[in-house]
Amino acid sequence: MTTQENKVKIIFEKFKSIAIGLIGAGIIGKGITYFSPQLSYDIPRILVPVYKAFGAMGLAVSMVLLGIALLIWSFYRWGKGNGKPLHWVLMAGIGAIAIVVLIYLVEGKKPAKSSLETHIESQSNPQPVVANANDVVDFPAIFPVEKKQEFDVLVKNLEDALLAKKSGPCWTAYNKLNIFVSRLNLDPNNTEQLNFLLQQKQKMDHYNQQIKDLDNK
C-alpha cells in the first residue's frame, strides 16, 4: 500500500469513527425524549425486546446506554487511528450538539394532544371526539380487517391479564399493544386516525395506572 493510499484509508477510518459518534449522540438525544410519555415510539429493531420487557422507560434507558457505547467505540476507533483526542471532542462534540438540538426542535414541533385538538378545530374537518378512558376505541377503517382482529386480541389479552390481577403478564400485554399501535404509523391530520389516537392514549393511560396499582399491592 502506497503512502497516499494509507493516508486516504486513515482519513476514511476517522470519518467512520466520527459518524459512529454522531449516531450515538442522536440515539442518546432521542432516548432522553422517551423519559416523557409519547404518543408513539420509534423503536430501533435491536431494542424491541427491551421495550417489550420493560416498556417505555426501559427503552429510554437502553437507548441512552446504547448511544454512550457508540460514543466510546467512536473515541476508541479515533485513537486507534492516531487521531488527537481534542480533535475528536471538537468534531464529534459540535456535531453531537447540532444533532441533539435538531432532535429537540423536531420533537418540540410535534403537536401534543391539546394542540392537535386545537389544530383540528381550526380546520373545516369534523372535530375530534373527546376521549374518555371508558369509551370504546374506534379502530380506523383504513386498516385491513386482520389489523383490527390483531388489535382486538391484544386488547383482550391485556384485559384478561388485568382481571387475573397479575402484574407481570399485564406489563407484557401492555407493551405488546403499545408496540402494535406505534407501528400503525397513524396520521394525526386524519380525523378518524386522530380520534383513535386520542382514545387509545386515554385507554393506555388508564391501563397503565391499573397495572401500577397492582404493583403497589
**Do 88 and 121 sit in the same domain of this protein?**
no
Residue of 13 and 130 predicted with greater confidence: 13
**Do 51 and 103 sit in the same domain of this protein?**
yes
CB 110 within 8 A of CB 67: no
Q: How confident is the model at residue 87 (pLDDT cuts 50, 70, 90)?
A: confident
User: Distance between alpha carbon 68 and the CA centroid of its chain, in Å?
Assistant: 17
Q: Provide the residue range defining the domain that includes 192.
A: 113-215
* The total number of residues written for the chain in this structure: 217
- Please report, for the chain, how many H helices and E strands are present, in that order: 7, 0
**Do 95 and 126 sit in the same domain of this protein?**
no
Backbone φ, ψ for residue 121 (5° rounding)? -65, -30
Burial class (CB in 10 A: 0-12, 13-18, 19+), 13: middle
- pLDDT per residue as tens digits for the range 34-52: 887 666 677 777 888 887 7
Choose one of 79, 109, 139: the last residue of a domain.
Answer: 109
Choose one of 109, 132, 157: the last residue of a domain.
Answer: 109
**Do 25 and 79 sit in the same domain of this protein?**
yes
3-state DSSP of 29-80: HHHHHCCCCCCCCCCCHHHHHHHHHHHHHHHHHHHHHHHHHHHHHHHHHHHH
User: Distance between alpha carbon 168 and the CA centroid of its chain, in Å?
Assistant: 22
**Do 105 and 38 sit in the same domain of this protein?**
yes
Model pTM score: 0.49
**Do 102 and 126 sit in the same domain of this protein?**
no
Average pLDDT, the chain: 78
**Do 85 and 25 sit in the same domain of this protein?**
yes
**Do 18 and 86 sit in the same domain of this protein?**
yes
**Do 21 and 68 sit in the same domain of this protein?**
yes
Residue with the three cell numbers 399491592: 217
Distance CA 96, CA 32 (A): 14
Q: How confident is the model at residue 194 (pLDDT cuts 50, 70, 90)?
A: confident
- pLDDT per residue as tens digits for the range 95-139: 778 877 777 676 655 544 433 343 444 444 444 444 444 567 788
**Do 61 and 128 sit in the same domain of this protein?**
no
| Domain count across the chain | 2
Choose one of 84, 109, 134: the last residue of a domain.
Answer: 109
